[in-house]
Amino acid sequence: MAATRRRIGRVKRETRETRITLEVHLDGKGTSRIDTPIPFLNHMLELLAHHGGLDLTIQAAGDVEVGFHHTVEDIGLCLGEGLSQCWGDLKGVNRYGHSLLPMDETLVLVALDISRRPHLHFGWKPRKVRVEGFDTALVKEFFQALVNRSGLTLHLQVLHGENLHHIIEALFKGCGRALRQAAGRPAGRGQVQSTKGLIG
């Protein structure tokens, strides 16, 4: 039997707005080295990596003097591209994953399909513009970029919650948990998880 392929993604992206290098190991231990100019995003990406069982290294610089938008979006794109490289032809990938993730008063539902049919349902309307120096509208921008480049079908629904930090944290943790399940290898099933024999 052929050795199991190491599932690694490596991405380098340089534009006039951002410079990003990213490496992701899908079958990792959840260890991360995240270095971006946005501390709150670093915290969220560390949580995603930890709960996703991803080894994730990100080095990012960006034009944050004009706002965090470019950097957040481009990191989402790079992570999406890296994950897509890891999944490859989707053979032996579980495909579906979900998480119902509580954090204190907050409860978040995440469901996803590694589908090659990018779609984001974003079920949250932040009631404040900023939290911890971070523009709450960028949470959706991050996940939209991730979805666009990874080909995920991703449903995020905040069922209830008050504290914005908790809500955003639950979204990132839940996404990690669901990804871990979806990207796992079903025992003894090395084929594409579709009766069509093809995903996409």
Q: Rounded to the nearest whole angstrom, what is the least distance from the CB of residue 1 to Mn ion in the complex?
A: 43
Q: What is the rounded distance in angstroms from the CA atom of residue 176 to the CA atom of residue 119?
A: 17
Q: Measured at CB, which residue is nearest to Mn ion?
A: 169
Inter-axis angle of helices 164-183 and 137-150, nearest 10: 10
Of the two residues 46 and 55, which places its CB atom closer to Mn ion in the complex?
46
125 residue type, one letter: K
Whether residue 22 contacts residue 57, with contact meaning beta carbons closer than 8 Å, is answered with: yes
Longest dimension (CA), the chain: 54
Q: Rounded to the nearest whole angstrom, what is the least distance from the CB of residue 170 to Mn ion in the complex?
A: 10
Whether residue 76 contacts residue 36, with contact meaning beta carbons closer than 8 Å, is answered with: no
Q: Rounded to the nearest whole angstrom, what is the least distance from the CB of residue 173 to Mn ion in the complex?
A: 9
Q: Using CB under 5 A as the criterion, which residues of the chain lie in contact with Mn ion when the complex forms?
A: 169
Of the two residues 113 and 169, which places its CB atom closer to Mn ion in the complex?
169
Which residues face 11 on adjacent strands?
22
Of the two residues 73 and 169, which places its CB atom closer to Mn ion in the complex?
169
Give the helix ranges, DSSP H, for 69-132: 69-87
What's the chain's length in residues? Answer: 200
Of the two residues 54 and 103, which places its CB atom closer to Mn ion in the complex?
103
Please name which of 137, 138, 118, 119 lies closest in space to residue 71, comparing C-alpha atoms.
Answer: 138
Q: Rounded to the nearest whole angstrom, what is the least distance from the CB of residue 126 to Mn ion in the complex?
A: 16
Q: Rounded to the nearest whole angstrom, what is the least distance from the CB of residue 48 to Mn ion in the complex?
A: 12
Of the two residues 35 and 104, which places its CB atom closer to Mn ion in the complex?
104
